[in-house]
Structure 1
Amino acid sequence: MTIIDLGLIGYARAETIQLETLDKVISGECGNTLFLLEHPKVITLGRQGGTENLHVNPAFLAAQGIELARTARGGNITCHFPGQLVAYPVWRVEKRPGGMRRFFHDMEAAVIATCAAFGVDTVRRPGHPGVWVDENRKICSMGIGVRRWVTYHGLALNVGRDVSLFDTITLCGIQGARPTSLSAEAGRDITIKEVKHVFAREFGKAFADSALAADQAARQ
């Protein structure tokens, strides 16, 4: 696994980098790659729609300097902003035991372990990919695209206290869902730099443990 920190980067530029890497992973020119980054303020609409869950006029967003982008990932509507850790695994899942369900499970496991490292207990919510503090408070959203059994897009973990951009949408199109963040739940300010380090470690562990378990099962 190669980990690349893109820092603060525009949504379109990051997508271009993902697609270039996607082609290289598909062709075998490079291996699995994990991008870690932040985005300037942007609201993204997934393949399942999203405009019905946007509470403001696109002209208002433009006046505020907030981008509105249609994406190829799964899911509905979400948003990104500085203070949110975005992770994009460009990852080959062909022949991976458990398929896409296991891939999402392992991503969630990495986030759950990361949150635990900062003293925040989180859970899965059946039927809703991502990670939650409880049934209504969501701390991490997930949505991916897949081309020829290689993933792109990924997850967004709220770190900083300011999650006010979510006021402009119905979070992931889920009625009653409210955003929260690591800093809010931990009761102290946590930096993106801290979380990047821990998440990279926990992501590596989650996917290594999954691969080891699959190998052991194959040998039995």
Structure 2
Amino acid sequence: MKNKQVLFDDWGMLDYQTAWDKQEEIFSGIVRSKQFNRSNNTEHPTSNHLIFVEHPHVYTLGKSGKPQNLLLDENELLDKHASFHKINRGGDITYHGPGQLVGYPILDLDNFFTDIHLYLRTLEEAVILTLKDYGIIAGRFTGFTGVWLDADNEKARKICALGVRCSRWVTMHGFALNVSPDLDYFKNIVPCGIDDKQVTSMELELGYKPDLSEVKKILMNHISVSFEMEIV
């Protein structure tokens, strides 16, 4: 029995470790439900969640990432009021901070489609459509995840990073859309391990600071349509 209802929650501003712990709790609960169904030959529906959040300044390093892509030592992190976490998603290093919309879809892909590449492309498409609503033409960069501007020329710059974990077709972690963050914080890392490309934000591209609550509504709608889900 496929359950396409998705519980939405906006955690507001929340420190990274607390958000990660809450994600893990939800993720583990869904995995346990699937294990129970399998062990008992039952078909109780599993839950799906979509979480929006902002984080205080933090750098996170994926399991395949290189620590040297963080260009700060412990004292410099303190000076920047930033923290650092090694985590269990894919991808390399990235930055999260105020003004960046972070999305954590914790979905049982058995309720939608069991294809992790399609999952990533569908998330990217929802972001691309959101940016299009603001007149920003974005797309994909062959060989890289995320959403890019001018990916076909030397001006290529990333506006949204993706990094996910998937186990038993349950997802966690997700995407980070640069709405209006302080882009100087990206200068302290080699973003996603790519040392010859720039990052950008909606604010920089538009010349004004978009309303974050409006961006959330538009993006949530595109996610729900792209995945054919019902947000509750």
Provide the TM-score with structure 2 as the length reference.
Answer: 0.85
The answer to whether the 8 Å contact 2:71/2:188 transfers is: yes
Deviates more, 1:36-45 or 1:153-162: 153-162
**Which residue, out of 4, 7, 12, partners 2:9?**
4
Cα distance in structure 2, aligned partners of 1:97 and 1:125: 23
The answer to whether the 8 Å contact 1:6/1:37 transfers is: yes
**Matched residue, 1:114:** 130
Per the TM alignment, residue 191 of structure 1 is displaced from its structure 2 partner at its CA by 2.2
Please give the per-residue CA displacement for 1:87-121, whole angstroms capped at 9, x wherever unaligned.
00001124854610100010001100111111111
Amino acid at match of 1:37: V
Deviates more, 1:31-40 or 1:154-163: 154-163
Per the TM alignment, residue 12 of structure 1 is displaced from its structure 2 partner at its CA by 0.6
Cα distance in structure 1, aligned partners of 2:75 and 2:66: 16
Q: Spell out the pairing of 1:1-220 with structure 2 (5 A cutoff).
A: 1-26=6-31, 27=33, 30-94=46-110, 96-97=112-113, 99-135=115-151, 136-160=156-180, 162-208=182-228
Please give the per-residue CA displacement for 1:136-175, whole angstroms capped at 9, x wherever unaligned.
2000000001222100000000000521110101111012
Cα distance in structure 2, aligned partners of 1:38 and 1:160: 11
Corresponding residue SS for 1:22 = helix
Cα distance in structure 2, aligned partners of 1:147 and 1:179: 30
Per the TM alignment, residue 25 of structure 1 is displaced from its structure 2 partner at its CA by 2.1
Cα distance in structure 2, aligned partners of 1:8 and 1:186: 24
The answer to whether the 8 Å contact 2:11/2:51 transfers is: yes
Deviates more, 1:134-143 or 1:183-192: 183-192
The answer to whether the 8 Å contact 2:46/2:108 transfers is: no
The answer to whether the 8 Å contact 1:24/1:30 transfers is: no
- Which ranges of structure 1 fall in alignment gaps of 5 or more residues? 210-220
The answer to whether the 8 Å contact 1:47/1:73 transfers is: yes
Please give the per-residue CA displacement for 1:53-108, whole angstroms capped at 9, x wherever unaligned.
12221221023320011111100000000000000000112485461010001000
Cα distance in structure 2, aligned partners of 1:34 and 1:127: 27
Corresponding residue SS for 2:109 = coil
Per the TM alignment, residue 205 of structure 1 is displaced from its structure 2 partner at its CA by 0.8
**Matched residue, 1:218:** none
Cα distance in structure 2, aligned partners of 1:30 and 1:150: 10
Cα distance in structure 1, aligned partners of 2:141 and 2:186: 19
Cα distance in structure 2, aligned partners of 1:51 and 1:137: 22
Structure 1 vs Structure 2 CA RMSD? 1.6
Count residues with an aligned counterpart.
209
Cα distance in structure 1, aligned partners of 2:190 and 2:147: 17
- Which ranges of structure 2 fall in alignment gaps of 5 or more residues? 1-5, 35-44
